[in-house]
Amino acid sequence: MDICWLCVILAGIAVYLLTQLIRFIFADADLTLLWADRFGSTPESKLRGKVVWITGASSGIGEELSLQLAALGARLVLSARRENELERVKRICLERSSLKDGDILVLPLDLLDRASHQEKTAAVQKHFGDIDVLINNGGRTQRSLCIEADVDVYQALMELNYLGTVSITKQVLPHMIRRGSGIIATVSSVAGFVGVPLATGYAASKHAVQGFFNSLRTELADSPNITISTICPGPVVSSIVQNAITEELGKPVATAGDQTHKMSTERCVHLTLVGLANHVKEMWIAEQPFLLFCYLWQYTPTLAWYTTKLLGRKRVQNFKAGLDADAAYFSKPKVKTT
């Protein structure tokens, strides 16, 4: 009888482990975030009526954040450099929601112009009174080999992705501390804690972002109702590759390649809003094999370095062949002929 019960227990454990393995194979986010998506609070219940300031709102993830938040009934501040694109996003938000014109503030913003950030923050407060959520989404990525990149490229990436984000955060944070609540969410990247070839400067800036917000979170121990959340997407369909900085400032990407193999922007943003609604401190949002890569880096760094070498070589090969750097990792790229 004891042996039979032992067999039943072992079989149950095996079934459970197999089920979790299958779930992980098809997962597109870390298990904490997926749990929140299934059993946690809904974005609509937590974000409706909130004032949300989004930087980089004119395209890509920032635009989709604006659209989904508008549909939830959040009041929005849309910021980026291109005012005409912000107005376009605002029009779509109004068409797809019950928001009124005054519920969406278009606020042109240059993250590099740090001297203007205090004035911009004051404009938001004047219009809405409160800032419930700040989403630091503005920034650019990189597509160039280190040996070919100018040092100016590295300076530009740090100024924009890191210092620009820190500057806006420092303007909004005192307001949230006085109120005793708020969310500061920052779109980092898997490259914020993983080594990524062709993006040495970008990865460095995102590592800096991760270090800053991880440290800030601990400083706010006496403000438990202020959530510091970092969002770490893997490859996502957006315009980020087309706008990447190359080996020289001002030199455009020769070809962005096919982006359709990447996670949809809609899914990435949905999971992001789930994470914000449930106060998730760090979100990994990526399809396989990138999600597996995140877990390797977190828990088995020695194996992660070995995997990095294999996938990194493939990434560089794709880039040199004129493909998207994150195109299929398990097929041989054709050599670029032009």
Residue numbers annotated as active site: 202
What residues pair up with 53 in beta bridges, in sequence order? Answer: 77, 134
Instruction: Give the C-alpha separation, 197 to 328, whole Å.
Output: 16
C-alpha–C-alpha distance, residues 287 and 126, integer Å: 41
d(CA 268, CA 278): 16
**What's the distance, CA 204 to chain centroid?**
15
Full 3-state SS string of the chain: CHHHHHHHHHHHHHHHHHHHHHHHHCCCECHHHHHHHHHCCCHHHHHCCCEEEEECCCCHHHHHHHHHHHHHCCEEEEECCCHHHHHHHHHHHHHCCCCCHHHEEECCCCCCCHHHHHHHHHHHHHHHCCCCEEEECCCCCECCCHHHCCHHHHHHHHHHHHHHHHHHHHHHHHHHHHHCCEEEEEECCHHHCCCCCCCHHHHHHHHHHHHHHHHHHHHCCCCCCEEEEEEEECCECCCCCCCCECCCCCCCCCCCCCCCCCECHHHHHHHHHHHHHCCCCEEEECCCCHHHHHHHHHHCHHHHHHHHHHHHHHHHHHHHCCCCCCCCCCCCCCCCCC
Q: Say if residue 322 is exposed, middle or buried (CB neighbours under 10 Å; 0-12, 13-18, 19+).
A: middle
Q: Are 133 and 53 in contact (CB under 8 A)?
A: yes
